[in-house]
Every structure is written in structure tokens, then in C-alpha cells.
Amino acid sequence: MSELILQLILFFSFAVIVYLMAIAVPRIKDDELTQGKTGSILPLERMDAFLNSWKEKLLRRLRIYLMKAERGVTSQLDKSREAYQRERQKRPFPSIRSIRRKKLPEKSPEEAPEEQS
């Protein structure tokens, strides 16, 4: 299953690359087109207009979905932060700086037990 997903991602990325390359290729000017042939079988202008409008709609919808996802993630982060703050208020932990180490009294050599060899 993971191989299928990886292959789908790979082919989708290839399609995006081909599409971006096709956009970057300069278009043939109308003067050059009329010199070669008088008519065209494919309505290229209508196809360009359709693809441009479809791309614009798709990108707008994608932007809206991304904004909704961002809002959802932000709300989840806020909820978890509030829950953490509530728990912390119930049982406050001392901050690291407020913890002071108690100095152990130093033992004098007289009090130390003698080592036996």
C-alpha cells in the first residue's frame, strides 16, 4: 500500500513538473500562426482561458482549505495550552530558579569513619 502511495505521489509530481514547464514555454504569436495555416483544429485560446480559470479557482479553494486547517491547528494548540495552564494552576511546580540546593554540612575528619584495610 505504501508503494502505491509513493508511486502516486511520484507521478503527480511529474505531472506538476510537466505542467509548469508547459507554462514556461513561450507561446506562438498570432502572426506566425496565420502565416503557416489558416485554421486550427483545436480551440487553443478557449482551452487556455478554461485552464487559467480552473487553475485560479483551484488555487483559491486550496488557499481556503489551508486557512481552515491552520485555524484548526491553532485552536488545538490554544486548547492544549489552556489545559496545561489549568493543570499548572491546580498544582504549581516551583520554577527551576526558585529551587535552592541545600548545602550539606561538611564533616570534619574526626567524625568520618576510619577505613579499615
76 within some domain: yes
Q: Distance between CA atoms of 56 and 62, rounded to whole angstroms?
A: 10
Q: How far apart are the first and last CA of the chain?
A: 70
What tens digit of pLDDT does each residue of 29-66 get? 666 555 555 566 878 888 889 999 999 999 999 999 99
**Domain tally, the chain:** 1
Q: What is the pLDDT of residue 69?
A: 96
86 within some domain: yes
What tens digit of pLDDT does each residue of 8-24 get? 999 999 998 888 888 87
21 within some domain: no
Distance of CA 41 to the CA centre of its chain: 43
The candidate with the shortest Cα–Cα distance to 20, out of 51, 65, 62, 57, is 51
56 within some domain: yes
Q: What is the pLDDT of residue 86?
A: 83
Q: Distance between CA atoms of 96 and 101, rounded to whole angstroms?
A: 11
pTM listed for this prediction: 0.43
Percent of the chain with pLDDT over 70: 64
Instruction: Quote the cell numbers at residue 86.
Output: 489549568
Q: Distance between CA atoms of 25 and 109, rounded to whole angstroms?
A: 89
**Domain ranges, residue 66:** 52-91
In this model, does residue 78 exceed pLDDT 90? yes
81 within some domain: yes
85 within some domain: yes
Mean pLDDT of the chain: 80
75 within some domain: yes
29 within some domain: no
